[in-house]
Amino acid sequence: AKRYSAFRSKLVIRLRSVLHDESNVFKSKLDNPYSVEFKGVARSPKIPASNLLCRLKHVVPSVTTITGEEPAFKDSPIRQAVPKTKLFEPNERYNTCAIVSNAGALNGSNLGRIIDSHDLVLRFNHAPTIGYEKDVGKKTTIRILNSQVASKKHFKFLKNKMYTGIKILVWDPCSYTSTLEQWKENPDFDVFTPYMKHRRAKPKTNLHLLNPRVLWTLWDFLQTHTSVRIRPNPPSSGFLGIALLLPHCDRVRLFEYVPSVRMTPRCHYFDNEVDTSCTFGVWHPLAAEKLLSLSLNQEDDFTTFQTGYITIPGYSNLKC
């Protein structure tokens, strides 16, 4: 037990030191590509986890997707292309849900069987299962893809079978104050063309676009509950995954999102790239996300830091 509490202290110190370094970036105002102007109050949560979750439930009761009915899309072909089936029906419920991060620490983790035992499994981007079943399992219910993966040719969004027959949520950021119209005219990467193509080629895949305003609601939530200024960029797919699943799962488990003792400088479990900022954040406010997630965790230190997952209770378990 001592070993894990020492690991926890070191990890928290490291995450906090990244947070403080990042807050200087914000102060310089040089690096604010999304024109973030936070007007709220930033402070550290000294409140119980259940209250914090109630606040998250209040600000993001569910993650919204583009329906085509928004004024910005009324005359766009996107309107016809949106599937009749929602990404999640409002009453769609799962007992246990697994979120599999892409962290290098999953390599050699042997977590595949436990991941596959969940009722729903969420994966990110182009993360493979074939060849990595022992460590990450083979079941996939849903993928969250960023707009680079959906639009850049080498990710084979239109061809690879891993993007077929499941639920998929594609996201692309808008600026902090921009409207859907402005986003439609000026996305970071053109998600609309591959979206239309994929819808035509694979109509059975339940493919949706994130309403990008959600990203800034989540960012505001992170900033409101962090005592220093956080990086003014959208939260990572990992944090978006938490917000997406909490309304639909009794328990949400995140694998190697909060690093375990297997923590490695390797970025991904499926390649050899070495980059510690994948785990601690260079673009997303990852350190803030991970500290907040750790404060919502219900598992003991052995499960968190040795087995390698945290559990956050779903909204259905809350009395708000």
Per CB under 6 A, residues contacting ligand C5P are 101-104, 124-125, 236-238, 257, 267, 278-279
CB of 256 to ligand C5P, least distance (A): 7
- Rounded to a whole number of angstroms, the minimum distance from the CB of residue 291 to ligand C5P is 13
**In the bound complex, what is the minimum distance in angstroms from residue 180's beta carbon to ligand C5P?**
23
> Least distance from C-beta 271 to ligand C5P, angstroms?
10
- Residue 172 CA to residue 193 CA, distance in Å, equals 13
Q: How far is CA 156 from CA 149, 161, 180, in A?
A: 8, 9, 27
Nearest alpha-carbon partner for 234 in 223, 221, 218: 218
Q: Which is nearer to ligand C5P, 81 or 281 (CB)?
A: 281
CB 97 within 8 A of CB 71: no
Residue placing its CB nearer to ligand C5P in the complex, 207 or 286: 286
Cβ proximity to ligand C5P: between 88 and 257 the closer is 257
CA distance 301 to 308: 9
Please report how close the Cβ of residue 134 comes to ligand C5P at its closest, in angstroms: 19
**Minimum Å distance from CB 289 to ligand C5P?**
7
The CA distance from 294 to 1, in Å, is 17
Cβ-closest position to ligand C5P: 238
Q: Give me the least distance between CB of 185 and ligand C5P, in Å please.
A: 26
Which residue number, 104 or 194, has a Cβ lying nearer to ligand C5P? 104
Task: DSSP for 206-253, please give it.
Answer: EEEEB-THHHHHHHHHHHHTSSSPPPSSPPPHHHHHHHHHTTTEEEEE
- CB-nearer residue toward ligand C5P: 81 or 218: 218
Q: Which residue, 246 or 267, is less far from ligand C5P as judged by CB? A: 267
Q: How would you class 14 by CB atoms within 10 Å of its CB: exposed for 0-12, middle for 13-18, buried for 19 or more?
A: middle
- Identify the CA nearest to 12 among candidates 312, 311, 287, 300: 287
Q: What's the CA gap between 77 and 250, in Å, rounded? A: 37
Give the residue with the Cβ less far from ligand C5P, 166 or 196. Answer: 166
Cβ 101 to ligand C5P, closest distance in Å? 4
Residue 146 or 178: the one with the smaller Cβ distance to ligand C5P is: 146
